[in-house]
A and B are shown apart, each in its own frame.
Chain A
């Protein structure tokens, strides 16, 4: 049977992708941001996940204002890196896992989550930057990827509680897939940042670190944070953190934290990164 063996959370700041693509990661500005991923790169090389379910948001790349799906699952054989206005990132094509993706889509819909199904989608920095952070610059990505796109741009985005519940439904779906697969789930985006208006540049280290603390153990506090708190405390784009809760929800009752990393800044944003393991019950 397929099983979710770990959860990873990571910011997906485009500037991290730029630093990786143009070999700037040993410059003093970038060293501390990337150093916190070295542990994870070694760990991923041992873990060798077959599939990563990668929760992210599209930044006006695949979706424009015509169609705004709240939760969408991408079921294609492969996904091309998107041209976000300055040419696609020079990273490998992302290979999907249509069998498992369609299985999750069907299972979640039966479980009362009205998923949008995507058969063709270019993937932007929201999806490819976490792959670069965890795997570096290989000729091909070492695993299959099932993209789950969440609307966190047009209000209201889904509640944290709903995200957590979707994670639970995804975990249930994975557990009923007959093939023996090592599956990880990644939640991306955040942490505190605001890319607009006179309050631009807001960073809240205390709030971010309290959020990270509550990913470990059996507390369910995070699922009840209202949107207004994300906006006030973590900036207008800090709302992306609800996507981490899909990952957390998929890990079951209790988690153990294997690794954590926090650094300010990368461009306008606080970098947060965590590796979690579901605790055996």
Chain B
């Protein structure tokens, strides 16, 4: 036994973590085509077609309009809300020439400079960041 083995209890816990989207089956299903689109950018010839006309490239995928707009806006938090997974979304920001540090900083609402300085100083403290309900 390692914690709950009731799938409902197990999943319910994940909504209590501040500022975090856990990549559950529900999100994996919602984001399937979004993540497969991002995966397609692993191929150089696809990256060229993508860069030539982003909208036309997206329209070949059965994604929701919200998902397409969030891709065009490079709104990574929104992409995660709509079922994107960070390792797949990474294909998108890598194609833009961004590092993980650069892309991740935009999700935290901080400037790259402030975010980098926080990391060098030891990272974001877990204090008060563990649970919404219990505030610890």
Contact = CB atoms under 8 A, between A and B. Distances in A.
Contact of A231 (B22, B25, B86, B105): B22
A257 interface: no
Nearest to A236: B20
Contacts of A256: none
Nearest to A224: B2
B2 A201 contact: no
Interface string B92-106: 001100011100110
A228 B3 contact: yes
- Where chain A touches its partner, the secondary structure class is loop
Contact of B14 (A197, A231, A264): A231
Contacts of B4: 226
A264 B94 contact: no
B16 to A, nearest CB: 8
A224 to B, nearest CB: 5
B126 A233 contact: yes
A123 to B, nearest CB: 14
Interface of A: 14-15, 29, 59-61, 64-66, 83-86, 153-156, 159-161, 192, 194-205, 207, 223-229, 231-233, 236-237, 264-265, 267-268, 270
Given A196-B77, A201-B115, A202-B125, 20 more contacts: A60-B35, A60-B38, A60-B39, A60-B88, A64-B39, A153-B23, A154-B24, A155-B14, A159-B2, A197-B21, A197-B107, A197-B108, A198-B108, A200-B108, A201-B118, A202-B124, A203-B124, A233-B130, A267-B101, A268-B104
